[in-house]
Amino acid sequence: MPTSTVTGQHTKTARMDIHQVADELVRGLGPTLVAALTGSRDRKLPAKWAKPDGPTPTVAFTQRLQLGHRAWATLVTDESAHIARQWFIGGNPLLGEDTPLTAIREDRGREVIEAVAAFLSDQPDA
């Protein structure tokens, strides 16, 4: 995957309102998985964040939402939403067999973005 794709998606996500970021993730992954990737114990909180007049997530939750969105949006440019969702919930050898959801929750951003790039490049051992 070209570096321009990674940086381009970073720029797009950074310019989005956090409520829009949450909305796109909730629509793609569902509120339970979005709660899991942020570390929220409240499965209903992501749906609240997704509303334009909803509460603003904490800084840590915002960072994880943005990372999750970058990964999601990059994946769905080349893959179906179903494949992207499977990528988020499946064990990944580049993440020590952790799921990308877990890696995002643990703030392992570089590893997550490298795993996205490897998946889209079809290079699982990259």
Cα-Cα end-to-end distance for the chain: 11
Query: Are the CB atoms for 75 and 58 separated by under 8 Å?
Result: no
Domain membership of residue 27 as a residue range = 3-121
Q: Under DSSP, is residue 10 helix (H, G, I), strand (E, B) or coil?
A: helix
Q: What is the pLDDT of residues 77-95, one digit of tens each?
A: 999 999 999 999 999 999 9
pLDDT of residue 3: 53
pLDDT tens digits along 28-73: 999 999 999 999 999 999 999 999 999 999 999 999 999 999 999 9
Please enumerate in sequence order all residues whose Cβ is within 8 A of that of 63, keeping only pairs 6 or more positions apart, or say none.
107
d(CA 53, CA 55) in angstroms, rounded, equals 7
Residue at 59 is within a domain: yes
Domain count, the chain: 1
1: pLDDT strictly greater than 70: no
What pLDDT shows up at residue 8?
81
Inside any domain, residue 126: no
pTM: 0.91
Residue-level pLDDT at 46: 98
Does residue 103 fall inside a structural domain? yes
Q: Sign of dihedral through CA atoms 81, 116, 86, 51?
A: negative
The answer to whether position 62 is within a domain reads yes
- pLDDT-based confidence at 17, cuts 50/70/90? very high
Q: Is residue 39 part of a domain?
A: yes
Please say if the pLDDT value at position 123 is more than 60. no
- CB count in 10 Å sphere of residue 82: 9
| Residue 31 CB partners (closer than 8 Å, separation 6+) | 43, 44, 45, 46, 47
Looking at residue 76, its pLDDT comes to: 95
